[in-house]
Structure 1
Amino acid sequence: MLKQIRLFRGKVRRYALSRFRPTYVDAQLQARRGECNHCGNCCEILFRCPFLLTQEDGSSHCSIYENRPGSCSAFPLDDRDLADVDFDCTYTFDPEAEIIPIESPDTPETEDTSTKPATVSERPSSTKPIPLLLLQRILNKTP
């Protein structure tokens, strides 16, 4: 029961950070190393994502990978997220990177956009709301 509460808090934390603190998420992504091995463990935290498809050979992939929500594309944000998947994820975080505090809402954000590279929050393709994606999948019956 305590693990489920921790996993639920992690889901809410990831959603809130990706939705309301995109600069924090971008900074954390800069400290992240490695790449996704498409294991699907992050898609089975608390419940199985309806967009996760499992192949006959046991491998899995996301059917909306190119249009996935921000909290999905930013996973993992830190070591707490890696703990949620029992550290099976192939991502790691740079140990020399400083811990980035989450700024308070009353702190104005200043950004130097002169030579800043594009970040995840500036993706050109907008993501669709999950209910719309579910409806499209049901109507199109895409595998």
Structure 2
Amino acid sequence: MKNNWYGRFIRCFTAFLPRDKSRVGECLRCGACCKLPNVCPFLRYDKNHKSRCIIYLIRPMNCRIYPRNKNEHLTKDTCGYRFE
């Protein structure tokens, strides 16, 4: 559990650094990143089980840029982004 909080702490501060240029893909709205390390209180699902953020326009920077680089990519199994 400590590692999850530490990872989130690091992502909050590194979110202002540039995103790795090798990142490709797009968000699949799986919601997996919104559950790191706990479920975000702003996460909702539509009738098709696709996730959505109820504060999307004002969401935190670490939500906007995830995954920033390969080392911070914790949701590889479900995420639509990948690094070449």
Distance 1:79 1:49, change over 3 A: same
Q: Which residue does 2:3 correspond to in 1? A: 6
Q: Which residue does 1:130 correspond to in 2? A: none
Aligned length: 84
RMSD: 1.7
Could you list the runs of 5+ residues in structure 2 that have no partner in the other structure? none
Q: Decide which of 12, 15, 33 is 2:12's aligned counterpart.
A: 15
Deviations 1:117-141 (A, max 9, x none): xxxxxxxxxxxxxxxxxxxxxxxxx
Q: Which residue does 2:33 correspond to in 1? A: 42
Instruction: Please give the TM-score of this superposition, normalised by the length of structure 2.
Output: 0.82
Instruction: Please give the TM-score of this superposition, normalised by the length of structure 1.
Output: 0.52
Higher relative contact order (CA 8 A, sep 6+): 2
Query: Share of identical aligned residues, percent?
Result: 30
Higher helix share: 1
Q: Which residue does 1:54 correspond to in 2? A: 45
